[in-house]
């Protein structure tokens, strides 16, 4: 995570463009921290949205002299996630520290059980990808993985935008129908 | 919405193929339906595994940014009122989202803090026969009574604290946002009532004359819920 003083000054002044730059730089780590509090991807998405709206609201309260934005964002994210959990009548997982969240750099790394699951997933993923035609594999990697638009994927594949959209739809139907992937996801979510 | 249609909509959402309104409607449904949320979660976890992204795929972040920018951008102005009358005829659409957010002083709202630490609240539903022959009656107070029965030929009035959003959701169709105080319709059947404290920034936006966004309200964590039965 890189922090730039000029950007932080603009962020603290409430500038919208600076907020979006900070979002782009920190969106992924914020998702990681939010995932410490919420297992369900849907809840993670809702919580991440709440976190960023809170960050936007508190933008001008950020003190540039306090240093990089990362620790400040981690505290805002953790506090907002705790509030959301309390509103649902739930508590954070025992692995989440109660204090010193701004220094809890280990939050940035995968937990041991995550690493184990990733290792388990590898074989299932490889088997599934072997069944995909090349075009659908490109859609998977570039469309879903990298977040390219249908137009961009279409340009890479040399097909129309409509065909690219169709390939993505077909791919998702295959993912949804895969018993092996469903079992993997179920284990991951349990 | 049929189960198959919902599943297709969920797949389209994970693929990023839904437009903003469709996606918002689906998310409102997901916040109340555990089965659909489980299907959504399974698909998202599967795509994350396939793209080797443990936290979020690139497409998820692209969608998140788009939702965030929409939430932050100025909404179109709309007149605000603390109470709205809704028409409930028999020939109806399946879902009604009633948004009740009224003007409030920002400093008062700011003192309220997070949405889980403010005082508990209740929501009152009043009903009046469309014919006007009978006086307005108190149909229910949520969460005290938990349920209410009204006629499909009734007008409904929702009364709630100024920073509370009241949402009525039927199981028969995707949620639809109530943009104005014009007449809306509900079919006979059962409607679930959710009431959530609007996030502070939403209340501020409403106070500034912008349309509040209901798409990201955590209905699953609604502090007040109830059931509304619409008689034919």
Query: Which residue in A145, A146, A147, A151 sits closest to A164, CA to CA?
Result: A151
Which residue of chain A has the CA closest to B205? Answer: A57
Q: How are strands ordered across the β-sheet holding B154-159?
A: B83-88, B154-159, B123-129, B137-142
Query: Which residue in B102, B101, B96 sits closest to B177, CA to CA?
Result: B96
What's the first-to-final CA gap in chain B, in angstroms?
A: 21
Q: How far apart are CA A152 and CA A171, in angstroms?
A: 17
In this structure, of A154-163, B146-155, B162-171, the range with the lowest mean pLDDT score is: B162-171
Which residue of chain A has the CA closest to B114? Answer: A83
Return the bridge partners of B194, or none. B167, B225
Q: What is the pLDDT of residues A55-88, one digit of tens each?
A: 998 888 888 888 889 889 988 998 899 888 888 7
Q: Do A172 and B223 touch (CB under 8 A)?
A: no
Chain B environment of A178 (Cβ under 8 Å): 46
Question: For the whole model, what pTM was predicted?
Answer: 0.60
Q: Which two tokens stand for residue B63?
A: 């969608």
What's residue B223's pLDDT? 62
Chain B environment of A24 (Cβ under 8 Å): 65
- Tally A–B CB contacts below 8 A: 166
* Cβ neighbours around A111 below 10 Å, total: 15
Q: Which residue has the higher pLDDT, A41 or A1?
A: A41
Q: Do B216 and A46 touch (CB under 8 A)?
A: yes
Q: Do B43 and A175 touch (CB under 8 A)?
A: yes
Strand ranges (DSSP E) for B103-173? Answer: 123-129, 137-142, 147-151, 154-159, 164-170
Q: What is the pLDDT of residues A79-116, one digit of tens each?
A: 899 888 888 777 766 556 555 555 555 556 666 667 77
Three-state DSSP state, A128: helix
Chain A environment of B199 (Cβ under 8 Å): 50, 53
Q: Which residues contact B6 (CB under 8 A, 6 or more apart)?
A: B29, B33, B36, B39
What's residue B173's pLDDT? 52
Return the bridge partners of B166, or none. B195
Q: How far apart are CA A1 and CA B100, in angstroms?
A: 41
ipTM exceeds 0.90? no
Q: Which residues contact B165 (CB under 8 A, 6 or more apart)?
A: B99, B100, B101, B195, B196, B197, B198, B202, B212, B214, B217
Chain B environment of A52 (Cβ under 8 Å): 64, 68
Write down the mean pLDDT value for chain B. 67
Half-sphere exposure of A32 (CA within 13 A, CB side): 18
* Cβ neighbours around B157 below 10 Å, total: 18
What's residue B134's pLDDT? 64
CB proximity under 8 Å: A 123-142 to B = 124-125, 128-129, 140-141
Q: Do A143 and B31 touch (CB under 8 A)?
A: no
Residue to test with chain B: of A15, A126, A147, A180, most B Cβ within 10 A: A147
A42 in B contact zone (CB under 8 Å) = yes
Residue B210 DSSP code? B
Token pair 């509103």 in the structure block, residue:
A87
Q: Which two tokens stand for residue A32?
A: 């990681």
Highest mean pLDDT: which of A22-26, B4-8, B106-110, B119-123? A22-26
Shortest Cα distance, chain A CAs vs residue B152, angstroms: 33
């Amino acid at each position: 995570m890189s922090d730039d003083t000029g950007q932080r000054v603009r962020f603290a002044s409430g500038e919208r463009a600076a907020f979006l730059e900070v979002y782009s730089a920190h969106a992924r780590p914020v998702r990681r921290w939010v995932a410490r509090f919420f297992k369900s991807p849907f809840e993670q998405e809702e919580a991440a949205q709440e976190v960023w709206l809170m960050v936007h609201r508190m933008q001008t309260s950020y003190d540039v002299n306090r240093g990089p934005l990362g620790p400040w964002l981690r505290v805002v994210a953790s506090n907002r996630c705790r509030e959301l959990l309390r509103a649902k009548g739930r508590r954070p997982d025992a692995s989440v520290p109660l204090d010193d969240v701004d220094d809890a750099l280990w939050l940035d790394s995968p937990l041991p059980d995550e690493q184990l699951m990733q290792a388990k997933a590898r074989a299932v993923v490889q088997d599934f990808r072997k069944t995909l035609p090349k075009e659908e594999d490109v859609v998977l990697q570039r469309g879903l993985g990298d977040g390219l638009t249908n137009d961009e994927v279409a340009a890479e594949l040399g097909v129309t935008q409509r065909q690219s959209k169709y390939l993505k739809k077909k791919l998702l139907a295959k993912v949804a129908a895969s018993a092996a992937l469903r079992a993997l996801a179920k284990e991951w979510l349990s | 919405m049929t189960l198959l249609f919902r599943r297709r909509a969920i797949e389209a959402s994970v693929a990023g193929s839904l437009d903003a309104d469709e996606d918002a409607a689906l998310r409102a449904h997901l916040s109340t339906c555990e089965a659909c949320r489980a299907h959504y979660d399974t698909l998202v976890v599967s795509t994350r595994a396939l793209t080797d992204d443990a936290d979020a795929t690139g497409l998820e972040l692209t969608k998140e940014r788009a939702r965030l920018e929409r939430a932050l951008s100025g909404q179109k102005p709309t007149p605000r009122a603390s109470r709205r009358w809704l028409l409930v005829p028999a020939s109806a659409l399946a879902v009604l989202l009633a948004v009740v957010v009224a003007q409030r002083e920002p400093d008062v709202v700011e003192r309220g803090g997070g949405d889980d630490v403010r005082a508990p609240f209740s929501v009152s539903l009043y009903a009046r026969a469309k014919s006007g022959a009978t006086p307005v009656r108190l149909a229910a107070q949520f969460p005290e009574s938990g349920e209410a029965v009204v006629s499909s030929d009734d007008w409904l009035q929702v009364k709630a604290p100024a920073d509370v959003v009241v949402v009525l959701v039927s199981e028969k169709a995707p949620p639809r946002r109530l943009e104005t105080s014009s007449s809306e319709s509900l079919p006979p059947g059962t409607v679930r009532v959710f009431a959530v404290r609007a996030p502070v920034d939403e209340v501020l936006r409403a106070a500034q004359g912008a349309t509040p966004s209901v798409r990201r309200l955590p209905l699953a964590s609604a502090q007040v819920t109830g059931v509304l039965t619409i008689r034919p």
